Amino acid sequence: MVALDGPSGTGKTTVARKLAERLSAGFLDTGAMYRVVTLAGLRAGIDMTDAGAVTAIARDAVFTIGTTPVRPSVTLAGEDVSAEIRGPEVNDAVSPVSAVPAVRELLVARQRKIIDGVLAEVGGIVVDGRDIGTVVAPDAPLKVFLTASPEVRAARRSAQDTAAGRESTPAEALASVDRRDRLDSSRAASPLRAAEDAVHLDTSDLGIEQVLVALTELASRRGLLHCAAEVTQ
């Protein structure tokens, strides 16, 4: 198992998917779980600052998170919401939702169950998020904390928004990145931080392929390259 943590805009999800493909492993985007719960709450019209109401949504919402790296779908009540959970409305509301301790408890339990299932079936998994190496899977054999400068991360976020047809200036993206960093790092429940034994990798000046090469080398040193292949043979 590979645990990838780090703030937004470091390329975690993109890199995690591609690394999972290279390792013939499963893939889990834990951030998507908090996003789909946020979307469910927005659709239900609840007060997103009401911890009890948000927790009830997290407990009762019917959603799925795909673990196939090539096309990891996200559904809510049977509807594919993979694109909608990346929209600005969810972006603005997901940090408060993910800060609710009871929500994190519910979703971490679900994440661990998914991880166990994929490990048993496929033999390997790459998991990305903000508390994977510290809370969700502290025993992961490889933990990596991805970083990048706020300016680089904001530029990446702005480019992603533009590609998705959403207007976003670099200044607006930087303000959003700074806000998310502040909320994620200061929350009481599972704050964003690197595990003590995590390998730090700054992606500011690296392309996706360069990051993948570095991560593949790390996985090789930990003996993880053939774990999935051995199970599926």
| Burial (Cβ within 10 Å: 0-12, 13-18, ≥19) of residue 79 | exposed
More confident residue, 88 or 57: 57
Q: How far apart are CA 128 and CA 69, in angstroms?
A: 12
Distance of CA 223 to CAs 102, 191, 203, 232, Å?
36, 30, 23, 16
pLDDT at position 227 is 52
State residue 3 phi and psi, 5-degree precision: -105, 120
pLDDT in tens, 168-202: 777 887 888 888 788 788 787 888 899 999 999 99
Residue type, 92: D
Amino acid letter for position 184 = D
Residues making up the chain, counted from first to last: 233
Structural domain boundaries enclosing 203 = 2-232
pTM exceeds 0.85:
yes
Joined together, the tokens standing for residue 124 give: 């390997």
CATH of the domain at 168: 3.40.50.300
One-letter-per-residue 3-state SS of 23-42 = CCCEEEEHHHHHHHHHHHHH
**Section 59-75 average pLDDT:** 95
Neighbours of 3 (CB within 10 A): 28
For the stretch 99-158, pLDDT in tens is 999 999 999 999 999 999 999 999 999 999 999 999 999 999 999 999 999 888 888 877
The number of folded domains in the chain is 1
Is pLDDT above 70 for 43? yes
- Summarize pLDDT for 54-66 with one digit per residue, the tens: 999 999 999 999 9
Give the type of residue at 39.
L
Q: 142, 129, 175: which is closest to 12 by C-alpha?
A: 129
